[in-house]
Structure 1
């Protein structure tokens, strides 16, 4: 697992083919110099992107063209913001938004048209600085196949021999590293991962209830809790309830 090299996912949704092609070209040149690892998905149909967002796929940057074919650009960006509060919007060719619109969509970066390589590279550097060096993803390499999981999507992690099983709402990953190594990495991220048992780490955001020697996650999963970890778990459950009540 390597958190040193910045990693980003960028989605481009525009009816103007040349914008998507330019962004791919600029990103390839940027990553070719070893500045970062960046995945770019270009989509002409905004509904394809909307489906990905609804399925909990996260993009660090979403670039939305000024004129979309099937929906108003601002309306589309607003709907994405309701589902994902963290993504950064790149807005090529957009007019300046008013204060109310900015408050709703922020953070945003305006890009002038025609798209400038220098301006785009500058915004990439700013975004990487904002995100931090790979600090939002758990990276792993299994038999030469590299993968990444967004920390916030991890529900819990279970020890399995000399490996760990990483569970998200959609998938399970077996990673051939010891639990202690994963726990060290997770100690430095914003998500609050809790040790609740010698074989389990859970993401505090999914913690729903605690009863006797078990905790329940929001999807109904039950996980054993050891007595030595119970007090901390009780505190997180109480905090989550306060957030729900408001």
Structure 2
């Protein structure tokens, strides 16, 4: 059963969101929070792959800042922002999130946002299988930040560990979906971790710079645009 966590400082808004969710053709386990301090106290126990619906304006706290804290837990949450203020929409791009819902359009947009979140949860559970000398390693795709080729080995850098394999960059890329983009003969990045693209390098969320070769500049821009369109 899919977990949904609703964070809003107004009880009637939480009930309104729940009523919309209850019209959907899915079964959900719903947990609600009115008090931000309760969220901060319990968020380490939120189940992996939860859908978290957050009002951007909360008493004495920002929903944007809360989302940043949730992002740091690396638990593959799908965050849906909801707000009555359209001017807040641009601020959500400071976070790793799934969707922004304008409250007056909630009946139409919230089910769409939740369906997208469910799809992304399914995608996030896809894996890359690597054959090592004495074992087979299974890696969640969404845990991979980037891959680097150094001499005869490829190094897969994840949020948890670094994995060394003899598999070539080209062979690894053939197993990976659109979000993985080659920036250089020796590098592949996961677009989900991109913070900024400059002319000569990409900066990841952890501030790691990844070089862009001239040969890959145009394809990088095109594929990253396709990735962004897919997220809409």
Q: Identify the structure with bigger relative contact order (alpha carbons < 8 Å, sequence gap 6+).
A: 1
Q: Which structure has the greater CA radius of gyration?
A: 1
